[in-house]
Every structure is written in C-alpha cells, then in structure tokens.
Amino acid sequence: MSQRQEEDFEEDELELYEHHRILVDKGQSLMRIDKFLTEKVANATRNKVQQAIDGGAVLVNGQPTKSNYKIKPLDEIRVLLEKPPRDTEVVPENIPLDILYEDTHLLVVNKPAGMVVHPAHGNWTGTLVNALVYHFQHLPEMKGNVGRPGLVHRIDKDTSGLLVIAKTEEAMTPLAAQFFHHTIDRTYLALVWGEPEADSGTIRGHVGRSAKDRKVMDVYPDGSQGKHAVTHWKVLKRLRYVSLIQCNLETGRTHQIRAHMKFLGHPLFNDAMYGGDKIRKGTQFAKYKTFVQNCFELMPRQALHAMSLGFIHPVTKEKLYFEAPLPEDFTSVLEKWDSYVKHE
C-alpha cells in the first residue's frame, strides 16, 4: 500500500489524546496560560505552547482558549494532541462479539453503540480491538496504525453498526485499498431534526476540523480546508418534527454524516457534539418538551446506524453484502415519534 493510502486510512472517528491535565492550585496568582504551561510542562517552549493553543489543542474548563488568557485558581487545563502519549499494548479481553460473517481472511461484526473501536486515551480497555485480540490471534496491522490490529476503518463510539475486520495480511491491503478508492458500498440510517424540503440530495463539501473546537468537524464548501467529502441522502420517513434519512457515503471522513447533516440544517437527533441534543423543531409546550426528553433518555446518543456494508472479498473476489437491523434504542425512538405524530 502506498504512503498516501496509509495516510488516508478511513477515519470515521476523530482522535485526540490527552497528554496533560492540570488543575490549577487554589493559591495560584493570575498568569498568562502560555507562560504557565511553559513553566509546568517539561521540555515545553513558549513558541510550541502558543502553537498548540492557536491550534485549539489546549482546553480550559473544556473550552479552547487563547495565549493571553490568564489562568484562575481551580481552572482545569487539558492539552490534547494527535499522537498518543505512549505506545499502547492491547490487552485481550473476553468481550462477546456479534459476528455476522467469518471466513479464513475476514469477519464482519455488528458493533453496539457505546463501544469504542480501538484503545485510546480514556479508553484503554473495553474496546472492539480488545475483544478482537482475545478471540483472534495474530491479526495484521496496517503500517502506521500500531495498536489497531485487524482494522481497516472505524465508526464513532456512539454509532452502531457494521465493520469489516481483516484477519490476514492478504486481506488487509486489498480491503484498505477499497476504502481508499471509495468502492465500498456503505449505507447509514440517521434520524435528523426537521424535514428536508427535497426528498433526496447530495452534499458536497470538504470536511475539516473546526477552528473553534478541534473535536468538532466543520464543512468548508469552498474547499479551502479539510478533505473532499460526498454524502448522498434520501428521506425514508417524514415525522413532522424529525425525519428518518438514508445516507450513502462516497467518502469516509471524520464525522462526515454528522457534519454534513448539520450543514444541511438537519443535525442528527440527540447528537450533542453537533447541536442535536436540543429541540430544533417543534412546539414549546411542556408536553412536547417532556416527550423529546424521554426520547433522548431512551436513546442517549446520536441517532446513527451503519446499516449495510458491501465490498469485494479480497481473496475470492466474490461480492459480499451485509445488513444489520436497527438496534432496539433506535427502533423504540422511531416508534415513539410515529405514535406521537399520529395522535398529536
């Protein structure tokens, strides 16, 4: 695989690793944060600290800051960087896997919402990869992705659905190439706020990190930043205040569907990172607010499910296609909305 392909590894989940977390002392006097971190962090220079702050990698009480911010007692300062603070040794864990298909070279798993795909800061255990290395020995790793055996793509922690896993080196490179060349067929189901005017459409807009918050992705339709991203969508069901949408990906950028649907004006239902955890459509009546809150509690995550996956088997060259039904939390919320609009 070429270096460009390795760098373009399918990245549906944005990763930032916490390198430092500092709770400012009660007796700390006011001081510029760049000076404070230069003194506190080993081998840090004022210039490097300022670059990190300008890049949104330094958070104060959970929010990006500026170099001239003056720290206050009990401020919580976090420094987040793209590279992990240490090499990760994956610990095998006996976690059950929902395997839809398996042969000598690959398997297809249905990941539940809430499961992180691979170890990273704050989630060194309990991940899909921890389960994979327990159930399967000698899984291959893509160059540059140490600690992620078997992975050729990934989906967000709170997104449910399908992932294909490579069991052999012979399978890994061709599978990764299919993702790189966007020949994988992928369908997602999403519940979004509001009802789009059209019944279908295509969103073309580069997706890249927000200048305000590095954990969030913004859409740059002029292509000035980010990476080329294309999402085809169509409405499957209109429920007055929300809509069930099918999304087919041409590309697999970080948070692509979540960012694109927000850009379209229809953020995913209960997607806290992209503003979907607030009432975006509907009345102000207490009954309605209570109903929506009950739905949020029933499905405490963004309403996104990787429903289908189609690809060419890397060894047999057979065309494979798999579907995973909507999980219970998703179907329950759909049923509640359906009942609400019928009896309103």
Q: Which residues are catalytic?
A: 156
Task: For residue 272, give the DSSP letter.
Answer: G
Q: What residue type is assigned to position 172 of the chain?
A: M
> Does the CA dihedral 82-226-188-109 come out positive or negative?
negative
Contact status, residue 121 vs residue 85, Cβ threshold 8 Å: yes
Kindly list the distances between the CA atom of residue 7 and the CA atoms of 4, 143, 147, 152, 155, in Å, as whole numbers in the listed order: 5, 10, 16, 12, 17
Tokens representing residue 217 in the block = 């992705």
Longest dimension (CA), the chain: 67
Q: List the helix and strand counts (H, then E) for the chain.
A: 8, 17
Per-residue b/e over 171-193, b at no fewer than 16 CB within 10 Å? bbbbbbebbbeeebebbbbbbbb
8 Å CB contact between 175 and 163: no
Using DSSP's 3-state secondary structure scheme, residue 300 falls into coil
DSSP reduced 3-state for 268: strand
Residue type, 287: K
Q: Which helix (H) or strand (E) holds 208?
A: strand 206-209
**CB of 233 within 8 A of CB of 247?**
yes
